[in-house]
Amino acid sequence: MILDLGCGFGFFTEALKGRVHPEAFVRGIDIIEAYGPLFLRTCEDAGLRGTFSAEGVHSIQKFEDRQFDLVLCSYALYFFPEIIPDISRVLRSDGLFISITHSNENMGELIDAAKEALQEKNMLSENTLPIEGIIRRFSSENGLQLLSPWFGSIRSVDYLNNLVFSPDDLRYIVEYFRFKSPFFLSGTGFSSEAVTSLLRGHLEKILLARNQFTISKDDTIFTTEKPLRERKYET
């Protein structure tokens, strides 16, 4: 039995193709109901049986103890790190929990550019966007600390990467921001198209001055085992 938390379209589940038992069953949970058909199609393409729920990840609190052999969470745990104890509880004693998350500075250059574009129009009263606080709730930097009270074995692998754009690549940066705008602008109330338009003009100036624009894309995979029935406190 496999649980995919914040499953979205099934990006993580898709990677299971040919890697788990053919009779494995995947349970996907998200809050966006429209993802359901896409997730189930991903399960089918991966040769797996599956189900989807739009109840949200906190429905994990209703699950029985030691129910899942594998729990997955891809680029989502920073939205709900408070459910880590329940992830430990529903994982079987020989099970595996795998999560992928960003570093604190992930996409920082693009976030800064968006803030600068907004500040130029006096649209941002504080020098921060909610996305910055969201990422820091479960990141490369604090993931081990948050997981260690609930799991007896934790391994981490860092994936360090940069995206480098030339002046000719401006439209690709803009399209990337537009695609990510629900995440970038979460909690702001700003229009995606309005901010994207402002950002385009600001990026043009940056590329003219620097001749390139770099976006940090550092991530970490945490592989955790040996769920603890009682929280482990440091002394």
**pLDDT tens by residue, the chain, 235 residues:** 999 999 999 989 999 999 998 889 999 999 999 999 999 999 999 999 999 999 999 999 999 999 999 999 999 999 999 999 999 999 999 999 999 999 999 999 999 999 999 999 999 888 889 999 999 999 999 999 999 999 999 999 999 999 999 999 999 999 999 998 988 998 899 999 999 999 999 999 999 999 999 999 999 999 999 999 766 655 4
Domain boundaries, the chain: 1-103+139-160+219-235, 105-131+162-216
- Domain 1-103+139-160+219-235 sits in CATH at 3.40.50.150
SS (H, E, C) the chain: CEEEECCCCCHHHHCCCCCCCCCCEEEEECCCCCHHHHHHHHHHHCCCEEEEECCCHHHHHHCCCCCEEEEEEECCHHHCHHHHHHHHHHEEEEEEEEEEEECCCCCHHHHHHHHHHHHHCCCCCCCCCHHHHHHCCCCCCCHHHHHCCCEEEEEEEEECCEEEECHHHHHHHHHHHHHHHHHHCCCCCCCHHHHHHHHHHHHHHHHHHHCCEEEECCEEEEEEEEECCCCCCCC
